[in-house]
Structure 1
């Protein structure tokens, strides 16, 4: 079973590389017993066709690198979010197989994105970690399906903080924000919680 990292490339620079490296090396150790740490800066050579615009580097791996893809990236527009429910879903590693997530995303109806509820707790959207604004602080669920690299950076910077967020808490917040490795905090979609169906 392959895992992967999605790394943002902007102005031909790999962003947040130390966070991707930490997650990748932790995954390799925990899933396959690999004790060697990969140095992504040394392993990833940006090809000539990648210009200064935003690109996505997708590195698929297990014990070894399976493949590396480089492609242009454009951000999605998110206007409405639908809650979906799965008490059994497990995505603690960034698995290449996203069948369970894709099945949940297929339940979105007329919404652009989903918010996954597991055993009454808020987790993530399909591709993003989330944070909620309570009027003074941005809080991110302490129960994500996958602790993202952008989430780790924002926690380290004190921009967001951890909280247990139940589905019943959503209405108490003002806004939800969706972010990931490709969508930094400044460009993250921010919606009124009334737009979560």
Structure 2
């Protein structure tokens, strides 16, 4: 079984490295692995990062070894709508698995520029195929589902900073009542989030 970490490389520097390492460490330990943090740091330091522009670095690894990496110029996706999609029972993406075939299959059924927003079996909203979700409430505060499919590093940072608060039971009705919807991940920090209006969500 293999996993990935996706890091933001900008101006020759990796953003949020400590949080990525923490998630990698948790993944390795949960799967009985032996990959050490110092090995990862040595590997990353050997990669010639581009000194200009924004790039996405994807690290592929198993619990025992780093397999490969890819670094490409980042292209922001154009997303104009969200489509609510129920998840199958017992589906999990707690760890950042390299196998994303389920997400790709769902996304292939949607129109261009439409992104899936998944619903847990009990009707709560969770994540898209590649981002965590924030809801801007009428008072300007930002909340995020307490039970995401994957605890993203940007999400963790915003919660640590007190800029975003977890909420236990967010439903499609909350989407309809919020001021805006924001999509974030390691490549999309809060100030660069994809912002959608409630009427851009398809039931």
TM-score (norm 2): 0.90
Is 1:152 equivalent to 2:156 in the alignment?
Answer: yes
Q: Which residue of 2 aligns with 1:70?
A: 71
1:13 matched to which residue of 2?
13
Kept in 1: contact 2:136–2:142 (CA 8 A): yes
Partner of 1:124: helix, strand, or coil?
strand
Per the alignment, in what secondary structure is the counterpart of residue 127 of structure 2? coil
Task: Give distance in 2, aligned partners of 1:142 and 1:93.
Answer: 16
Q: In 2, Cα distance between the equivalents of 1:40 and 1:150?
A: 20
After superposing the two structures, state which structure 1 stretch, 179-188 or 75-84, moved more: 75-84
* Structure 1 residue runs of 4 or more that deviate by more than 3 Å after TM superposition: 33-42, 46-49
- Return the TM-score normalized by structure 1: 0.93
* Partner residue, 2:28: 28
**What's the CA shift for 1:133?**
0.9
**Number of paired residues?**
197
Map of 2:192 onto structure 1: 187
After superposition, the Cα gap between the structure-2 partners of 1:40 and 1:141, relative to the gap in structure 1 and judged at 3 Å, is same
1:68–1:117 distance in 2 versus 1, CA, 3 Å = same
Deviations 1:123-151 (A, max 9, x none): 10111000001112110001100000010
For 1:106, the equivalent position in structure 2 comes to 108
Query: Using the alignment, how far apart are the partners of 2:33 and 2:48 within structure 1?
Result: 34
The 2-side partners of 1:12 and 1:37 are apart by: 21
Q: CA RMSD in A?
A: 1.7
Matches within 5 A, 1:91-170: 91-119=93-121, 120-136=123-139, 137-164=141-168, 165-170=170-175
Taking a change above 3 Å as real, the CA distance of residues 16 and 49 of structure 1, as seen in their structure-2 partners, is closer
Which stretches in structure 1 are left out of the alignment for 5+ residues?
Answer: none
Residue by residue, what CA displacement relative to the aligned partner does 1:46-99 show, whole Å, maximum 9, x if unpaired? 644723101111110111101111111121122111111113321110000001
How far apart in 2 are the matches of 1:192 and 1:171? 9
SS in 2 for 1:32: coil
Give the distance between the partners of 1:115 and 1:16, measured in 2 at CA: 25
Structure 2, gaps ≥5 residues long: none
Determine helix, strand or coil for the equivalent of 2:173: helix
Aligned to 2:176: 171
